[in-house]
Amino acid sequence: MVQLKVLSGRKAGTAWVARRFPVRIGRSAKADLQSDESGVWDQHLQLDFDPAAGLLLSAQPDALTTVNGQPVQQVVLRNGDTISAGSLKLQFWLSETRQRGLRFREGLTWAAIAVISLGQVAIVYWLVR
C-alpha cells in the first residue's frame, strides 16, 4: 500500500493510506485525498499503479506540481519523494506491511521434527531387537 504524509497545511502531520488505484488528489468532492489549500485544483493530480513502471504521478496540464522541487507532468515516484501541489506538500512512502502470525507453521514444523525423531528412535529400537 501507498502512504502519503501531509507535510503542510491544516492537515500537516497526518498520514493517508491509498488502498486502491487510481488515487485522485485535489479540491473536488470526488477526489480521494481532498485538500482546500491555496493553489490546489479540483483534480490536481492522480496516482496510478503501472505493473511495469511502478507508481506513476500524472498532473493536470498547467497545474503547478513538483516532485523533489522539479516541475513535472508525469513521473514515476520513488519512496521518500516530496510532492508539491500548489501549497500542499506531501511525502510519498510505501506503507508498513503487516506480517501474519507464524505460530501455526512453527507448530507444524516442531510437530514434524518430533514425529521424525520418534520415527528414528522406533527404527533404531526395531533394528536392535
Q: Looking at residue 98, what is its pLDDT?
A: 77
Q: How far is CA 58 from CA 38, 51, 110, in A?
A: 20, 16, 51
Task: List the pLDDT tens digit at each of the 129 positions of the chain.
Answer: 789 999 988 888 999 988 889 999 999 999 999 988 899 999 999 999 989 989 999 999 988 999 999 999 999 999 999 999 989 999 999 877 777 888 999 999 999 999 999 999 999 999 998
Clarify whether residues 10 and 65 are in a common domain. Answer: yes
Clarify whether residues 60 and 24 are in a common domain. Answer: yes
Clarify whether residues 18 and 68 are in a common domain. Answer: yes
Query: Is the peptide bond prior to 22 cis by the omega test (within 30 degrees of 0)?
Result: yes
Q: Looking at residue 94, what is its pLDDT?
A: 85
Q: Looking at residue 21, what is its pLDDT?
A: 92
DSSP state of 96: P
What are the grid coordinates assigned to 58, written together?
A: 500524472
Clarify whether residues 44 and 9 are in a common domain. Answer: yes
Clarify whether residues 35 and 13 are in a common domain. Answer: yes
CA distance 107 to 99: 17
Q: What is the bridge-based pairing of β-strands 23-26 and 33-34? A: parallel
Clarify whether residues 90 and 103 are in a common domain. Answer: no
Residue span of the structural domain in which 70 resides: 2-94
Q: Partners of 5 in the beta sheet?
A: 15, 91
How many folded domains does the chain comprise?
Answer: 2
What is the chain's Cα-based Rg? Answer: 26
CA distance 43 to 46: 8
Global confidence as pTM:
0.71
Q: Looking at residue 112, what is its pLDDT?
A: 97
